[in-house]
Amino acid sequence: MQSISRKDLIRRACSFAEPFRISSGESFRLEDVDPEDTLHLEAEDKPLAKEALTMGIELLAEYQDKLYAQDSWGLLLIFQAMDAAGKDGTIKHVMSGVNPQGCQVSSFKAPTSVDLDHDYLWRCMQCLPERGRIGIFNRSYYEDTLVVRVHPELLEHQKIPPELVGKDIWKERFKDIRHFESYLSRNGIIVRKFFLHVSKKEQKRRFLERLNNPEKNWKFSAADIRERAFWEDYMAAYEDMIRHTASDEAPWYVVPANNKWFTRVAVAAAIIETLDSLNLRYPKVGEEARRELESARQALEAEKA
Ligand code: AMP
Ligand code: MG
């Protein structure tokens, strides 16, 4: 494994990301993605996959350093999933090697009264990554087409003038989101979206683990069981959302999430693929700046002590 060249690693990363990338949603069907899928890898390949992930994480750190130095592009990574699909763990592992100064994580929970006094994009806009940074959204404005769609009574709390809430509201939101994401892309903020696709059966197994293991009790919330009862509605909402908001500039990656080790590899691969496509370079120092560096070097070397 250690002998893998950088070029090889990037090529492999692309091969792990590509099968899950949805750039055009018309024909997308959630049932075509198997949450158990691990491509050609078997359970006994797990140690190899972990090793590859470690190398991928090192590569990500290198890209992030260049992104920061260039101070031009920004990267927004959006994570959406059902409860216990592994969003938090994936974010923790995949970003473990990057410099915290270049990374901002924002988690979006039920909106506050201040949030509800604004349009639904408002709270997310305030957390967009700066140029040179990676911004991670743990949930996002997409919740306003998911949980709010599954529980339409939440829409009433959004205080939108009633005449603006019609039967096309979800289509309208998808359109606004598409435009918002292309606006970001046109400004150099790259958008990549991840749906970690876990099965209902695996969610049950993970909930039971949270209930049975005292160290995991804190992760369990009674609300999670309530939402589980709406599984089919959520799947339909996710599918429709992906169909309408997948684009070339802001693709969805629908990542199988029943095997955490695989989810992490696929997500890291997609981020590597994205950052590699930017051809990031450390900024070149101009003639004048080079002269300044040279005189600073001479001054330092001339110091007595
Ligand atoms: P967790 O990420 O598990 O801490 O849960 C956060 C909760 O906030 C989830 O149940 C989400 O569905 C909920 N949430 C996030 N955004 C919204 C929103 N815009 N409207 C209503 N609930 C939301
Ligand atoms: Mg939760």
Distance CA 42, CA 259 (A): 11
Contact between 156 and 216 (Cβ < 8 Å):
no
Tell how strand 252-256 and strand 21-22 pair up. Answer: antiparallel
pLDDT at residue 174 above 50?
yes
- What percent of the chain stands above pLDDT 90? 91
- What percent of the chain stands above pLDDT 70? 99
> Band of the pLDDT at 304, cuts 50, 70, 90?
confident
Q: Please tell me the predicted confidence (pLDDT) of residue 20.
A: 98
Domain containing 269 equals 6-302
Q: What would the pLDDT profile of 143-167 be if each residue is shown by its tens digit?
A: 999 999 999 999 999 999 999 999 9
Distance CA 202, CA 223 (A): 18
Distance CA 79, CA 192 (A): 9
Distance CA 210, CA 201 (A): 14
Sequence letter at residue 149: R
Measured by CA distance, the residue closest to atom 6 of ligand 1 is 109
pLDDT at residue 177 above 70?
yes
Among the listed residues 93, 166, 103, the one whose alpha carbon sits nearest the alpha carbon of residue 129: 103
Q: Please tell me the predicted confidence (pLDDT) of residue 2.
A: 53
Q: Choose the residue to mutate in 124, 143, 170, 230 for probing ligand 1, maximizing ligand atoms within 8 Å of C-beta.
A: 143
pLDDT at residue 43 above 90?
no
Mean per-residue pLDDT for 197-209?
97
Domain assignment present for residue 1? The answer is no
Q: Residue 250 maps to which CATH number?
A: 3.40.50.300
* Token representation of residue 150: 């599954």
Output the CA angle 260-262-265, nearest 5 degrees: 115
> Band of the pLDDT at 5, cuts 50, 70, 90?
confident
Domain assignment present for residue 200? The answer is yes
Q: Please tell me the predicted confidence (pLDDT) of residue 126.
A: 98
Looking at mean pLDDT, say which of 6-10, 45-49, 228-232 comes out highest.
Answer: 228-232
State if residue 139 touches ligand 1 by the CB under 6 angstroms criterion. yes
Domain assignment present for residue 286? The answer is yes
Q: Choose the residue to mutate in 79, 106, 109 for probing ligand 1, maximizing ligand atoms within 8 Å of C-beta.
A: 109
Measured by CA distance, the residue closest to atom 17 of ligand 1 is 110
Domain count of the fold of the chain? 1
Alpha helices in the chain (DSSP H): 6-17, 46-70, 87-94, 113-116, 122-125, 147-150, 153-157, 169-186, 200-212, 222-228, 231-245, 260-276, 287-302
Across all residues in the chain, what is the average pLDDT? 95
Domain assignment present for residue 154? The answer is yes
Domain assignment present for residue 16? The answer is yes
Distance CA 254, CA 266 (A): 10
Q: Please tell me the predicted confidence (pLDDT) of residue 1.
A: 47
CA 47 to each of CA 66, 93, 131, 259: distance values in angstroms, whole numbers, following the listed order? 29, 15, 36, 13
Mean per-residue pLDDT for 187-214?
97
SS (H, E, C) 240-266: HHHHHHCCCCCCEEEEECCCHHHHHHH
Domain assignment present for residue 199? The answer is yes
Distance CA 236, CA 238 (A): 5
Distance CA 164, CA 145 (A): 16
